[in-house]
Structure 1
Amino acid sequence: MLTKNNTKFIKSLQLKKFRQKEGLFLVEGAKNTLELIHSSYKIKNLLVTDSFLSQNQNVINSNNIEVEILKEKELSSISTFKSNADALAVVYEKTPPTYNAAGFDLVLDDIRDPGNLGTIIRLADWYGIKNIICSSTTAEFYNPKVISASMGSIFRVNLYRENLSEFLKKQKDREIYGALLKGENVHKTDFKQNGLLIIGNESRGINPELIPMISNHITIPRIGEAESLNAAMATAIICDNVFRNQ
């Protein structure tokens, strides 16, 4: 049975300061919870409805996870979702492995919208990008909106928070591509597979102090009248060109 103290504690994890204090975060819904169960993340509590348990009993048992069964109304009352008929997990944060500078990686400079960050994580997973390096001002990794938008991909992509200027200075043998308003047409760019792609803030672009470190200025040519693309859309278009010949 869910006690008042447990309810209060779980609901406190909807706030960033308590997530950071406890080193815990929430995973909600069927899709993300199943992806979590198959990942290397450690689960503290798993709260489920009868229907979710009956549909996923074998998966839960095979991973030796203890569950607490709640009614849908109870589960929804502690969820960030308006309605949650499946599951909610309290999960321990995990330190990513030592960064391995092999392959093509993303660098996110001041991407503040959690939905955009979650979508970019999902895109990275789709294209087999294993690492995303983020500035200190990029959205919190374990924000519930990030988790939700990633659709489980957050459990397969390594996320790092770095001083981007210091990080890029160390990447001497890699091509660094920057998404800018002026640059080479992305459709004609010959991307190297051991490279980095910097995506900047939607309104301000890439931090000026990082521009000198960019070896390849690239742009998505505008054909119509739209004023701009959001960061996730731009990332998708560029990634598709990075891997078009794979």
Structure 2
Amino acid sequence: MLTKQTVKFTKSLQNKKFRRLYNQFIIEGEKSVLEVLSSDFKIQKLLVTSYFHAKYKELLAPFSGIIELAGDTELDSIGSLQSNDAAIAVCAVNEVLLPETIKGEWVIALDNINDPGNLGTIIRIADWYGISKIICSEDTADFYNPKVINASKGSFLRVKVHYTDLSAFLKQQRVSVYGADLHGENIHTASFKEVGILVMGNEAHGISEGVKACITQMLTIPRFGQAESLNVGIATAICCDRIKSAQSV
């Protein structure tokens, strides 16, 4: 059984205020915890069920941090997953330095993406397409929100996410900046350079006016049916696929 102090503290990390206060966050589930064990994230404490502890006894042997055994239903009550019969890792937040300029790579920029599930999905998409950096406006969902971590399916370990004044950052860049918008060039006929920034806007309002002023070229995913709009995660995947396909031609 976990101590009351451990339960209270772990639950508090679902709140952005306490994540910032303690500079810690949680990772949940068997697969994600196993991945973080071999990452550069510093694990402060592991909360594990007897099943997880027995199954991965040899893997856990070198771990020098604290390990606490949890009852079968305890992890469900203190985490964000509906069911977790494995583990929760309490980790220290990594310091990520914002690059001054983008060189030699494609980067995704997110302008006020509110939904943590969308952010997690976009991190996973970036990882799939070999994009290692995401630049977020300061009002975008918190990277360390458990819903973001869970939705990224482990990709948060490989994609660096930075927060900054997005319009100020884009003004400093010397690469092409593309924005997804309802009014722009057909993405299927547009040409793309080897280096650039893809900007995706807010789920309801699109790209803000300040960020729009920094965009070199607007892109549109043409609609062939009657749907009103696309989810921002799906739209990001389509844009990334088109950009990478154009580069391989």
C-alpha RMSD of matched pairs (Å): 1.5
Match of 2:180 in 1: 179
Match of 1:222 in 2: 223
Residue range with higher mean Cα deviation, 3-12 or 225-234: 3-12
Residue range with higher mean Cα deviation, 202-211 or 55-64: 55-64
Q: Report SS of the residue matched to 1:196.
A: strand
Q: Which amino acid aligns with 1:34?
A: L
Match of 1:70 in 2: 70
Match of 1:207 in 2: 208
Q: Which amino acid aligns with 2:230?
A: L
TM-superposition CA deviations, 1:115-160 (whole Å, max 9, x none): 0000000000111101100001100111110010001111111110
1:39–1:156 Cα contact (<8 Å) kept: no
Q: Which amino acid aligns with 1:115?
A: G
% of aligned pairs identical? 47
TM-superposition CA deviations, 1:184-219 (whole Å, max 9, x none): 111112211210000001211101122222111111
2:53 aligned with 1:58: no
Q: Report SS of the residue matched to 1:129.
A: coil
Q: Report SS of the residue matched to 2:180.
A: strand
Counterparts of residues 73-152 of structure 1 (less than 5 Å): 73-99=73-99, 101-102=102-103, 103-152=105-154
Match of 2:19 in 1: 19
Q: Return 5+ residue gaps in structure 2 as ranges.
A: none
Aligned-pair CA distance for 1:65:
5.0
Shift in CA distance, 211/98, structure 1 to aligned 2, threshold 3 Å: closer
Distance in 1 between residues matched to 2:138 and 2:202, nearest whole Å: 13
2:44–2:65 Cα contact (<8 Å) kept: no
Distance in 1 between residues matched to 2:80 and 2:225, nearest whole Å: 38
Distance in 1 between residues matched to 2:136 and 2:241, nearest whole Å: 21
1:120–1:150 Cα contact (<8 Å) kept: yes
Distance in 2 between residues matched to 1:201 and 1:171, nearest whole Å: 22
Distance in 1 between residues matched to 2:177 and 2:94, nearest whole Å: 28
Q: Which amino acid aligns with 1:214?
A: I
Match of 1:47 in 2: 47
1:97–1:158 Cα contact (<8 Å) kept: no
Q: Which amino acid aligns with 1:208?
A: E
Q: Report SS of the residue matched to 1:40.
A: coil
Residue range with higher mean Cα deviation, 56-65 or 12-21: 56-65
Q: Report SS of the residue matched to 1:188.
A: coil
TM-superposition CA deviations, 1:44-88 (whole Å, max 9, x none): 111111222233233333555542222212222222222210100
Distance in 1 between residues matched to 2:5 and 2:213, nearest whole Å: 52
Q: Report SS of the residue matched to 2:213.
A: helix
Match of 1:195 in 2: 196
- Given the two structures, how large is their TM-score scaled by the length of structure 2? 0.93
Distance in 2 between residues matched to 1:97 and 1:163, nearest whole Å: 14
Distance in 2 between residues matched to 1:180 and 1:98, nearest whole Å: 26
Q: Which amino acid aligns with 2:68?
A: E
- Given the two structures, how large is their TM-score scaled by the length of structure 1? 0.95
Shift in CA distance, 169/54, structure 1 to aligned 2, threshold 3 Å: same
Aligned-pair CA distance for 1:110:
0.5
Distance in 1 between residues matched to 2:199 and 2:38, nearest whole Å: 30
Q: Return 5+ residue gaps in structure 1 as ranges.
A: none
Residue range with higher mean Cα deviation, 114-123 or 163-172: 163-172
Aligned-pair CA distance for 1:179:
0.4
Q: Which amino acid aligns with 1:48?
A: V
